[in-house]
Amino acid sequence: LGEKKVTVVFVLGGPGSGKGTQCANIVEHFGFTHLSAGDLLRAEIKSGSENGAMIQNMIKEGKIVPSEVTIKLLQRAMLESDNDKFLIDGFPRNEENRAAFERVTKILPEFVLFFDCSEEEMERRLLNRNQGRDDDNIDTIRKRFKVFVESSIPVVEYYDSKGKVKKIDAAKPVDAVFEDVKSIFSSFSA
Ligand code: UP5
Ligand code: MG
């Protein structure tokens, strides 16, 4: 990113834990720009990029797209933005994502917001979402849960060992979760 100095908060949590929902609230109240890695990848499929078919297959299988692809999209979005405060939602998803992002961008997150929710509740939310996502079917949902536990939880544990994780009970109703999110961001910007 060269000269541009940025503040980054990673927003992590299982599939359907409410990352996107809460990021929209944070944007409104705290002036961050929301970058959902999944949304950027889905936009890349739609744009007809040469990587589109590969990305589509990985998402359908709940697999993690190679870091270089995702990091390029995130970097481009940060460069194109006038803002200097970003919520990076749904990334990094594995240790390799995390290390590559640090190496390539030299950015370390201010903190990591972690939305903790049971699989039972997340499954219910995803099956009710009805936004036509290719990966919101029970087969893919189970694969996403498995990848989350095996690959993404270790990233949360890594940041926890650095004292950077702010864990939120994401099983509560949207407004109650946002109350907890607000208290974290209020003390951060103060
Ligand atoms: N909802 C939200 N909060 C609620 C609450 N408190 N109570 C009741 N309902 C609540 O919410 C999901 C649904 O639940 C919505 O209907 C919402 O209204 C309701 P949402 O806010 O969308 O949850 P979110 O955590 O964002 O769920 P999402 O499905 O987006 O999470 P994933 O992590 O699975 O999806 P993502 O888009 O990040 O990634 C998709 C795929 O892309 C991955 O599986 C992977 O294949 C690929 N990917 C990569 O390879 N690399 C990346 O870096 C990122 C993605
Ligand atoms: Mg999302």
Q: Cβ < 6 Å from ligand 1: which residues?
A: 13, 15-21, 36-38, 41, 58-59, 62-65, 70, 90-91, 93, 125-126, 129, 135, 144, 173-174, 177
- Point out the annotated binding site for a ribonucleoside 5'-phosphate: 42, 63-65, 90-93, 133, 144
Residue 53 has pLDDT above 60, yes or no: yes
For 7-52, the pLDDT digits (tens) are: 999 999 999 999 999 999 999 999 999 999 999 999 999 999 999 9
Q: Which two tokens stand for residue 21?
A: 């929902």
Tell me, in angstroms, the distance from the centre of ligand 2 to residue 109's CA: 19
Q: Given this model, what pLDDT does residue 3 score?
A: 74
Q: What is the mean pLDDT of residues 87-115?
A: 98
pLDDT in tens, 63-92: 999 999 999 999 999 999 999 999 999 999
Q: From CA 156, how far away is CA 135, in angstroms rounded?
A: 23
- Type of residue found at 92: P
Query: SS3 of 44, please?
Result: helix
Domains of the chain and any CATH numbers? 7-179 (3.40.50.300)
Ligand 1 test: best mutation among 39, 41, 68, most atoms within 8 Å of CB? 41
Query: Which pLDDT score is estimated for 59?
Result: 98
Residue 15 alpha carbon to ligand 1 centre in Å: 5
Residue with tokens 């720009």: 33
- End-to-end CA gap in the chain: 26
Q: Quote the pLDDT of residue 1.
A: 74
Instruction: Report the atom number in ligand 1 closest to the C-alpha of 15.
Output: 34
Q: What is the ipTM of this complex?
A: 0.99
Give, to the nearest 10 degrees, the angle between helix 95-105 and helix 153-161.
60
CA angle 36, 41, 42 (to 5 degrees): 95
Residue corresponding to tokens 């409104």: 28
Residue that is written with structure tokens 């889905």 in the block: 42
Number of CB atoms found within 10 A of residue 153's CB: 14
pLDDT reported for residue 190: 53
- Whole-number mean pLDDT of the chain? 97
Residue 9 · residue 108 · CB < 8 Å: no
User: pTM of the predicted model, to two decimals?
Assistant: 0.98
| Least distant ligand from the CA of 90 | 1
- The secondary structure element, H or E, covering residue 13 is strand 7-13
Q: What is the mean pLDDT of residues 140-156?
A: 98
As a whole number, mean pLDDT of residues 168-180 equals 98
Q: What is the DSSP letter of 151?
A: I
**CA of residue 157 to ligand 1 center, whole Å:** 20
Q: What span, in angstroms and rounded, lies between the C-alpha atoms of 83 and 78?
A: 8
State in Å: Cα 16 to ligand 1 middle. Answer: 4
Q: Give the pair of three-digit tokens for residue 131.
A: 């936004």
